[in-house]
Structure 1
């Protein structure tokens, strides 16, 4: 009898999935509910229903389904965490998003360095951290994405075409980088975010250019002086005063 019930639950699950694929999300949810009524401990059904609810814009209900899927199916919960994190981010719960992406990254070793969704988890965790002004953590995750794509795309047989066209190794690396940008959207996005972070403090960069080499070295050698110089709106007087105090 139990086998018959499980088969019926699976039938409704498959029917719901088929309707989801056709864009019939409301009907899909009704089929998933029938499946859940018969077998409430199938994590995949809760997860699939969460995907349909997401399509309907019912984010709170979808989050509840993803959380239920994690609760009843801890051994296969990695992808559930990923989709939960995406919705948390959409609702501006950035701490929740970071927690979800971290759980996905830590649990899904099968995807490590083999699937773009793994890189996206790092990329989106970085975006969540940046929204919380955790700039350093964000930069580390974006940098990881960039470096991993570079590592994957070192010289291979598939690169013979650009290798033959290049004049030297530097030229090859330039063309390789262009290919990375063209073929890997996540690489381009992470590179852009990294670049934006590095020039976000453009005023400081411009003010540093105006200083003598000696003054620059003095700032780089004393973090406290550097921070006070910025807080003083880059006042030359503040810099000179601080330098005099150091010399006394």
Structure 2
């Protein structure tokens, strides 16, 4: 009897040893497939290894990694949470779990996991990139640029992710650091030459730096990539409108934008603005109404439309549009200034003075000139 038990134990031990060997072999096959960028095939190997050896944490982690790579983020979250119970002090586990949360639109959980990763390994470069991406998606640009710079500082190798450099450049444009944006966006362009958004952001940066020919050139390259996008046409129009002060040429480019998308609000606004500048106020009204039709909270369009009505002596309509602009942006100076001019024409000294006082509270340079006009009433 004792001999039978001994033989049974030996047999069981042999079977377990064989299963462990098989699990290890499957795990190694999975790693090879992962290195060959075949995550789906690798997952099959890791899953088979786990069937033979359920507590195989290495295989479970690699399975979670491959699930992330295969965009199976909900599954990755479940898998990596299990890994975390055994490997709670391993930084890469928290990074991968954070990545799964981020891609599954669980930003708060992602940030929590990323921060735990940094507690364990403060120089984990990719965490800073991902935290920057989360801030970028939330339009928290000051926070985003801090993380992006930290990623560069901690990176061990050259950064060849074109999207990283694009997002950094976009963020710098948003923060009005146009020279830095140029440098970042050119790095993105050197890595990937057919990403239209990089050309658009470069065009914007060069426009703001008043390097007009370069700006137009980048917008035209964007047109080459996608002739049906209205955005680069608007970009060129703005170079002519804001920098070159050539309203006729700007109108021509805005018209091209409307040919592609008749409902494009910025082109309609731009046409209204340029028409006002050329004294074509009735035409401006038509375009500006369309801009507001397509965006009911377009503050600048309400101001410009109010100006059109002011110049065509439709004073109640002018005041109405200025009031709408102020309801959306209580600090808008132009709406107050031109409202003041209308009140002066209407001989309404009380409201004209009210506009002056409000401009003074905003430290507006227009307050003095409007006050002089009120004093002459």
TM-score range, shorter chain: 0.5 to 0.7
The structural deviation recorded for 1:196 is 4.2
Q: 1:44 to 1:189 in 2, by over 3 A?
A: farther
1:144 maps to what in 2?
183
1:59 maps to what in 2?
107
Mind listing any 5+ residue stretches in structure 1 that lack a counterpart?
Answer: 1-6, 154-179, 208-230, 233-248
Q: 1:186 to 1:141 in 2, by over 3 A?
A: farther
1:206 maps to what in 2?
245
1:188 maps to what in 2?
199
Return the alpha-carbon distance in structure 2 between the equivalents of residues 146 and 21 of structure 1.
27
The reply to whether residue 90 of structure 1 matches residue 137 of structure 2 is yes
The TM-score, its normalising length taken from structure 2, stands at: 0.38
2:89 maps to what in 1?
41
1:70 maps to what in 2?
118
Return the alpha-carbon distance in structure 2 between the equivalents of residues 51 and 107 of structure 1.
18
Q: Which structure exhibits the higher relative contact order, with contacts defined as CA atoms closer than 8 Å and separated by 6 or more residues? A: 1
Structure 1, residues 41-87: CA drift from partner, whole Å, max 9, x if none?
Answer: 21111111112112211111112112222221234x11111111001
Q: 1:140 to 1:204 in 2, by over 3 A?
A: closer
Give RMSD over aligned pairs: 3.2
Please tell me whether the aligned partners of residues 125 and 141 of structure 1 are also in contact (alpha carbons under 8 angstroms): no
The reply to whether residue 126 of structure 1 matches residue 179 of structure 2 is no
Q: 1:124 to 1:18 in 2, by over 3 A?
A: closer
Return the alpha-carbon distance in structure 1 between the equivalents of residues 84 and 197 of structure 2.
36
The structural deviation recorded for 1:105 is 1.3
Tell me which structure has the larger Cα radius of gyration.
2
Return the alpha-carbon distance in structure 2 between the equivalents of residues 110 and 20 of structure 1.
23
The TM-score, its normalising length taken from structure 1, stands at: 0.56
2:57 maps to what in 1?
9
Return the alpha-carbon distance in structure 2 between the equivalents of residues 122 and 36 of structure 1.
32
Q: 1:30 to 1:21 in 2, by over 3 A?
A: same
1:243 maps to what in 2?
none
Structure 1, residues 3-52: CA drift from partner, whole Å, max 9, x if none?
Answer: xxxx8432221121233344432221111111111111211111111121
Structure 1, residues 87-115: CA drift from partner, whole Å, max 9, x if none?
Answer: 11112222221111010112214115xx1
Structure 1, residues 201-241: CA drift from partner, whole Å, max 9, x if none?
Answer: 7445428xxxxxxxxxxxxxxxxxxxxxxx67xxxxxxxxx
Mind listing any 5+ residue stretches in structure 2 that lack a counterpart?
Answer: 1-54, 213-237, 247-364, 367-377
Please tell me whether the aligned partners of residues 97 and 128 of structure 1 are also in contact (alpha carbons under 8 angstroms): yes
Please tell me whether the aligned partners of residues 91 and 117 of structure 2 are also in contact (alpha carbons under 8 angstroms): yes
The structural deviation recorded for 1:181 is 4.5
Return the alpha-carbon distance in structure 2 between the equivalents of residues 130 and 146 of structure 1.
10
Q: 1:205 to 1:65 in 2, by over 3 A?
A: same
Return the alpha-carbon distance in structure 1 between the equivalents of residues 130 and 136 of structure 2.
10
1:161 maps to what in 2?
none
Count residues in correspondence. Answer: 167
